[in-house]
């Protein structure tokens, strides 16, 4: 473990001020939101950082709101604020599940939406937003762009300011699963998110299945599995075919946390649970939430 190196801290009072700094004398500076990724990395890996831009004072980037048919989440919203947001009802169980899988409570109190997305494409929120067909809003001093949550390609002068996705409508439920070898504080071996929308007769109107490391180290959807379910009755036969597709279609990279074969089997089991939990919630829509 390395000592924390000396560095300069710049604390802007507004987003515009931060973007101006990053486009000029602050080029190459690292962004600090909650600090749950940057500070440990600086200690553990001895990363040389000359300047840090502390965004934590930009309170106008902390919100969860609905604008017409769009859910909008500010990038400095903490994971705890996200899991407790009343606007995200039982349809958004995928977010509520982070309370059980995203580190300890101190981590959830500090870690931010933008920071988790910026940390890597196989992060918890990236996989959730992938299933929700969400997008990230990114700004620099010259303007704004949108990007998929798993393909941000952030430049050194850019800041994630918001994530957005269409508000879920109809008979729909979601589920998030995470497998890690060290409970509550380890890096995930695999994560999955399931979004299931039914018609009243239990026909699958829409389904989205996202898996971390779906291809190598990149997160992705599993279109073959989704096709096996979409338009069909959500019964054991169609679900079984979909799970076969999950296992055969993804091609995860292996490492010390799990081999490719192991990750495929775990992903299959987690998607199976996700579909079961979504069906249980939808079959008992007026009962107690499964979140």
Q: How many domains does the chain have?
A: 3
Residue tagged 């490719």 (tokens) = 260
Taking residue 162's Cβ as centre, other Cβ atoms within 10 Å add up to 21
* pLDDT value for 286: 44
Residue 76 is assigned to a structural domain of this protein: yes
Sheet holding 30-32, edge to edge: 8-10, 51-54, 30-32
pTM for this predicted structure: 0.90
Same domain? For 13 and 106 the reply is no
Residues 203 and 157 in one domain: no
> What CATH number has the domain bearing residue 132?
3.30.465.10
Least confident span in 75-84, 204-213, 280-289 = 280-289
182-to-21, 43, 96, 145, 253 alpha-carbon distances in Å:
39, 21, 20, 37, 20
- Average pLDDT in the 219-226 region? 97
In a domain, 290, yes or no: no
Please report the pLDDT score of residue 36 as a whole number. Answer: 59
Note down the domain range covering 230: 171-283
Please compute the mean of the pLDDT values over residues 34-60 and round it to a whole number: 72
- 192 within a domain of the structure (yes/no): yes
Domain end marker among 137, 166, 195:
166
What's the distance, CA 178 to chain centroid? 11
């Amino acid at each position: 473990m390395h000592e924390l190196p000396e560095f300069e801290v710049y604390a802007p009072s507004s987003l515009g001020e931060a973007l101006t700094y990053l486009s000029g004398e602050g080029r190459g500076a690292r962004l600090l939101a909650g600090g749950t990724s940057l500070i440990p990395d600086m200690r553990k890996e001895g990363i040389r950082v000359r300047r840090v831009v502390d965004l934590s004072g930009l309170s106008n980037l902390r919100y969860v709101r609905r604008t017409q048919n769009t859910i909008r989440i500010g990038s400095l919203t903490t994971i705890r604020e996200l899991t407790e947001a009343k606007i995200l009802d039982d349809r958004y169980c995928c977010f509520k599940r982070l309370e059980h899988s995203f580190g300890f409570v101190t981590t959830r109190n500090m870690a931010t939406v933008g920071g988790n997305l910026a940390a890597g494409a196989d992060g918890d929120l990236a996989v959730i937003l992938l299933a929700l067909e969400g997008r990230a809003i990114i700004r620099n001093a010259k303007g704004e762009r949108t990007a998929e949550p798993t393909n941000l390609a952030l430049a050194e002068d850019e800041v994630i300011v918001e994530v957005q996705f269409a508000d879920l409508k109809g008979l729909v439920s979601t589920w998030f699963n995470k497998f890690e070898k060290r409970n509550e504080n380890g890096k995930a071996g695999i994560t999955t998110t399931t979004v299931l929308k039914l018609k009243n007769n239990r026909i699958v109107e829409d389904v989205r299945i996202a898996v971390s490391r779906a291809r190598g180290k990149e997160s992705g959807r599993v279109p073959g599995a989704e096709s096996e379910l979409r338009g069909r009755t959500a019964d054991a036969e169609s679900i079984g075919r979909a799970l076969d597709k999950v296992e055969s279609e993804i091609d995860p990279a292996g490492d010390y946390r799990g081999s490719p074969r192991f990750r495929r089997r775990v992903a299959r089991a987690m998607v199976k649970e996700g579909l079961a939990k979504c069906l249980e919630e939808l079959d008992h829509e007026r009962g107690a939430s499964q979140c």
